[in-house]
């Protein structure tokens, strides 16, 4: 069982927190604290695993049931705890209270990863300060960000005082413009002065005003372009100072992308070593998709050919500055003479596939290789390109080492500065060559038929000036990468969100995230009284969404009947085309109250909506999938959520297509295994935009009768929260 002193510490701090904040004890929150603490306790050996049902209970007084059984666990595996905690549970404080005392006892770091900036800010600015001030817990906190959020001092110096040699090199290589405008020069000088006087820490987010991307991008470097300890500004480097603070902090707050970037680099590069961390993934339903994105690869054939030409100019510049021997230039020219014609041959090989099989849409077409299998001749040619790009990456790596040696040994200060300026550009070239090699490797390999395949597809783009071909490859499941780099490496992990299950089980999450068999699962319902607070209505429509014209016309006719003043509503669409069509066909008075996501940035649109409501005006938001989660419009800001149809995923997505085919080959029905659970999950999220607090109330309307007429629809309906259900009749014009 969990060591008594840790258990007592958690209980006592929970009681103090409730008292100090005048919080009402919540059964779900107590249960979540108890289960996380119990499951993670096996890390330190304080918990003796016992076989039994993986569910424990917390008593109404807030104390933990000491006799509750513990899930059987393998002591050689990290404990993974998945807890779905409905809106209103108070899950953030629950996982903080449960993990921090245990982690401190075991000398481990707690890494909290969120999927959105809004939640990250809530954890840092609200939840953690509440816990520190309302309890006796004492721990240090750091906010973790990637290199791209910090200014590079060397780049800042370079932009303000570029050398003639570097001007010429960057101009040839087209890395970035160094011909600063007057406004840019003023901004960069202002930054340099602020750093010197200590009024700015070099973090983009802490600058006194927003910085445009085109202004910020020249100021940062990637991992491959960083000199690290060899840099003349290393002692003052704001990124490494921030990185050092992570080593000295008990709790690190970051995001999913940062954690995945660190894992992709091998772990322990940006964040502490995974084996020293307990990870908490809030909004964990995003993790599989984000993981696939991090381990995907792509290449633009035309752009790559142009890049190779510019790289030849870079090599010539390095030779002229005597940074590389003639042999390096000869090696590059040999590779260049191989790569350019092979890329052209590859394009010629792909063209017939596009012409015969590609799905043409205006000046864009895409072709997904069935089951991810590319033709043998395409695979063989990709193998040759993989070999050549690997050699090119190796050449750049050798050049980078030569420049690094020059940095350490050169006595001439101006030459040392020039070497320091060349290094990031070479590092960037090495990274691009490595990324290209990864794509060609993915296209050259045959997948293991016993495992999920890699999705491979081509995109053809045409504009007025050029034609571009993009080759892409991605895992269809995050399972292997997450298993190898996270679940098998970390000390422990908690995955939580308001929505993680689908159709009453966690099978879809287990499949996509590759969670170990020993994973503990628990669903804690929301404390909201759904039946009292919300009505879930489906109109009698006599048409299905597949009849797009009739479906759109029905929505247009129904909205004036469904939305009575004052209007404070959100309508969610699965199709941008339908969203636009509905707007265009609405009466003028209704068009005037619509705020469409295509016309504003998300934060700006939500702010505008709140201002309208506060002024007593009508406001109706039209949004796509991104508005089905992370939108918090409590109380009178949203009293009606309308959903165009059951939110099935886009059927032509290359990853979903490839995964569906593989699922079918395993003897399963991909529609019932993937599409229906995913749609049910999305519908729960979309409908969840209505009730954001226990005092909220309102209506949800779904324009899709399949919820009642199809067998799968009834399964989806049964998985929704227990709203009060209605079938309604819309008057015909």
CB 391 within 8 A of CB 335: yes
Q: How high is the pLDDT of residue 161?
A: 74
What pLDDT sits at residue 644?
98
For residue 248, how many C-alpha atoms fall within 13 Å in the half-sphere facing its CB? 6
Domain boundary among 491, 524, 557: 524
Residue 565 lies in a domain: yes
Q: Which structural domain range is residue 612 located in?
A: 530-728
Residue 332, domain member (yes or no): yes
pLDDT value at 59 more than 70: no
Of the listed ranges 54-58, 232-236, 409-413, the one predicted with least confidence: 54-58
**pTM reported for the whole predicted model:** 0.87
Q: Which two tokens stand for residue 337?
A: 């003479």
| Max avg pLDDT among 85-89, 115-119, 642-646 | 642-646
Query: How confident is the model over 64-68, as a mean pLDDT?
Result: 32
DSSP E strand boundaries for 488-590: 492-497, 520-524, 534-539, 568-572
What contacts 685, CB < 8 A, 6 or more positions away? 499, 628, 629
Domain-located, residue 494: yes
198's CB contacts (< 8 A; 6+ apart) are none
Q: What is the H or E stretch that residue 702 is in?
A: strand 698-702
Based on the domain organization, do 581 and 502 belong to the same domain?
Answer: no
Same domain, 499 and 455: no
Residue 603: what pLDDT? Answer: 87
Phi first, then psi, for residue 564 (nearest 5°) are: -100, 150
For residue 250, being part of any structural domain is answered with: no
Could you tell me if 661 and 512 lie in one domain?
no
Q: Flag whether 421 is in a domain.
A: no
Write out pLDDT tens, residues 258-277.
999 999 888 988 899 999 99
Residue 167 pLDDT > 60: no
| Residue 163 banded pLDDT, cuts 50, 70, 90 | low
Residue 317 lies in a domain: no
Looking at the fold, whether 436 and 512 belong to one and the same domain comes out as no
Confidence label for 147 from pLDDT (cuts 50, 70 and 90):
confident
% the chain with pLDDT above 70 = 91
pLDDT at 720: 96
Q: What is the pLDDT of residue 83?
A: 98
C-alpha–C-alpha distance, residues 64 and 56, integer Å: 9
Average pLDDT over residues 322-342: 93
Residues 552 and 696 in one domain: yes
Domain match, 630 and 689 both: yes
The answer to whether residues 442 and 495 belong to one domain is no
In 3D space, the residue among 287, 292, 272 whose CA is nearest the CA of residue 490 turns out to be 272
Residue in the structure block whose two tokens are 């918090």? 632
Six token digits for residue 420: 């320091």
Could you report the per-residue pLDDT of 431-452, keeping only the tens digit for each?
Answer: 999 999 999 999 999 999 888 9
253 domain-assigned? no
Same domain for 360 and 500, yes or no, is: no
Summarize pLDDT for 476-510 with one digit per residue, the tens.
999 999 999 999 999 999 999 999 999 999 999 99
pLDDT of 363 higher than 80 = no
357 pLDDT more than 80: no
Rounded to whole angstroms, how far apart are CA atoms 465 and 467? 7
One DSSP character per residue, 419-460 reads HHHHHHHHHHHHHHHHHHHHHHHHHHPPPPTTS--EEEEEEE
Whether residue 448 sits in one domain with residue 374: yes
Q: What is the pLDDT of residue 133?
A: 94
SS3 85: strand
Q: Please name every residue paired with 381 in a beta bridge, in sequence order, or none if there are none.
A: none
565 and 502 in one domain? no
Q: How far apart are CA 115 and CA 254, in angstroms?
A: 9
For residues 548 and 407, state if they share a domain: no
How deeply is 257 buried, as exposed, middle or buried, from its count of CB atoms within 10 A (0-12, 13-18, 19+)?
middle
What is the rounded distance in angstroms from the CA atom of residue 477 to the CA atom of residue 452? 7
- Looking at residue 502, the DSSP 8-state letter turns out to be B
Within 265-375, where are the H helices? 287-294, 301-320, 326-357
Handedness of CA 657, 663, 664, 670 (dihedral sign): negative
Q: What are 567-593's pLDDT values in tens digits?
A: 999 999 999 999 999 999 999 999 999
User: Strand 297-300 relative to strand 467-475: parallel, antiparallel, unpaired?
Assistant: antiparallel
pLDDT grade for 61, boundaries at 50, 70 and 90: very low
Picking from 477, 459, 475, the residue whose alpha carbon sits closest to that of residue 372 is: 475
For position 712, which CATH number holds?
A: 3.40.50.300
How confident is the model at residue 165, as a pLDDT? 53
Is residue 677 a part of any domain in this protein? Answer: yes
The rounded distance, in Å, linking the Cα atoms of 81 and 98 is 12
- Residue 362: what pLDDT? 55
Q: How many domains does the chain have?
A: 3
pLDDT confidence tier of residue 232, bands split at 50, 70 and 90: confident
Provide the mean pLDDT of the chain: 88
CATH number, domain with residue 13: 3.40.50
> What number of residues does the chain have?
733
> Residue written as tokens 């979903």?
656
Residues 464 and 566 in one domain: no
pLDDT beyond 60 at 71:
no
> 9-50 pLDDT, tens per residue?
999 999 999 988 888 788 999 999 999 999 999 886 654 333
pLDDT digits (tens, 9 = 90+) for 648-704: 988 889 999 999 999 999 999 999 999 999 999 999 999 999 999 989 999 999 999
């Amino acid at each position: 069982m969990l060591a008594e002193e840790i258990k007592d510490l958690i209980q006592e701090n929970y009681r103090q927190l409730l008292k100090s904040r005048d919080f009402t004890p919540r059964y779900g929150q107590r249960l979540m604290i108890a289960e996380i603490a119990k499951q993670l306790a096996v890390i330190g050996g304080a918990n003796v695993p016992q076989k039994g049902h993986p569910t424990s209970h917390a008593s109404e007084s807030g104390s933990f049931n000491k006799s509750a059984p513990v899930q059987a666990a393998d002591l050689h595996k990290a404990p993974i705890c998945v807890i779905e905690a409905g809106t209103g549970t108070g899950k953030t404080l629950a996982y903080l209270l449960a993990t921090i005392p245990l982690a401190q006892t075991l000398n481990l770091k707690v890494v909290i990863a969120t999927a959105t900036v809004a939640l990250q800010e809530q954890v840092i600015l609200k939840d953690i300060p509440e816990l520190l001030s309302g309890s006796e817990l004492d721990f240090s906190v750091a906010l973790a960000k990637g290199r791209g959020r910090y200014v590079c001092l060397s780049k800042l110096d370079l932009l303000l005082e570029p050398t003639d040699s570097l001007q010429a090199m960057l101009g040839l290589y087209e890395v970035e413009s160094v011909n600063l405008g007057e406004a840019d020069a003023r901004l960069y000088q202002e930054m340099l002065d602020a750093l010197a006087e200590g009024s700015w820490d070099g973090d983009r987010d802490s600058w006194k005003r927003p910085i445009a991307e085109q202004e910020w991008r020249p100021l940062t470097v990637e991992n491959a372009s960083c000199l690290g300890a060899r840099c003349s500004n290393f002692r003052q480097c704001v990124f490494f100072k921030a990185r050092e603070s992570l080593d000295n902090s008990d709790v690190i707050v970051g995001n999913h992308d940062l954690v995945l970037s660190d894992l992709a680099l091998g772990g322990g590069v940006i964040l502490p070593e995974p084996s020293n961390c307990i990870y908490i993934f809030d909004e964990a339903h995003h993790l599989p998709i984000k993981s696939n994105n991090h381990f995907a690869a792509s290449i633009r054939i035309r752009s790559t050919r142009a890049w190779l030409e510019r790289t030849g100019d870079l090599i010539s510049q390095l030779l002229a500055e005597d940074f590389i021997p003639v042999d390096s230039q000869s090696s590059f020219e040999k590779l260049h003479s191989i790569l350019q014609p092979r890329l052209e041959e590859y394009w010629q090989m792909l063209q017939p596939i596009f012409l015969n099989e590609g799905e043409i849409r205006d000046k864009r077409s895409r072709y997904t290789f069935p089951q991810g299998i590319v033709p043998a001749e395409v695979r063989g040619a990709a193998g040759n390109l993989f070999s050549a790009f690997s050699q090119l990456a190796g050449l750049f790596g050798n050049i980078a080492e030569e420049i690094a040696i020059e940095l350490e040994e050169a006595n001439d200060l101006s030459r040392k500065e020039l070497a320091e300026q060349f290094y990031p550009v070479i590092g960037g070239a090495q990274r691009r060559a490595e990324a290209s090699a990864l794509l060609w490797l993915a296209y050259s390999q045959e997948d293991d038929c016993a495992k999920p395949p890699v999705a491979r597809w081509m995109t053809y783009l045409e504009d007025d000036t050029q034609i571009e071909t993009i080759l892409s490859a991605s895992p269809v499941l995050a399972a292997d990468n997450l298993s190898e780099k996270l679940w098998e490496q970390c000390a422990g992990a908690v995955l939580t969100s308001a929505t993680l299950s689908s159709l009453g089980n966690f099978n879809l999450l287990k499949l996509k995230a590759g969670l170990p068999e020993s994973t503990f699962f628990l669903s804690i319902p929301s404390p909201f009284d759904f039946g009292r607070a919300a009505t879930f209505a489906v109109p009698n429509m006599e048409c299905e969404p597949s009849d797009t014209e009739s479906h759109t016309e029905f929505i247009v006719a129904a909205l004036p009947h469904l939305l009575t003043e004052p209007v404070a509503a959100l309508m969610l669409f699965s199709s941008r085309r339908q969203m636009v069509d509905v707007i265009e066909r609405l009466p003028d008075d209704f068009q005037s109250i619509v705020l469409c996501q295509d016309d504003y940035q998300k934060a700006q649109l939500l702010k505008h909506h709140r201002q309208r409501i506060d002024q007593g005006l009508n406001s109706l938001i039209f949004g796509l999938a991104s508005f089905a989660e992370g939108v918090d419009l409590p109380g009178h800001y949203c009293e009606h959520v309308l959903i165009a149809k059951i939110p099935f995923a886009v059927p032509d997505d290359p990853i979903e297509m490839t995964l569906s085919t593989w699922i079918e080959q395993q003897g399963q029905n991909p529609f019932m295994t993937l599409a229906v659970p995913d749609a049910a999950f999305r519908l729960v999220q979309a409908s969840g935009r209505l009730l954001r607090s226990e005092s909220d109330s309102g209506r949800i309307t779904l324009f899709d009768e399949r919820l009642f007429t199809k067998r799968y629809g009834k399964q989806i309906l049964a998985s929704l929260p227990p709203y009060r259900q209605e079938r309604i009749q819309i008057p015909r014009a």
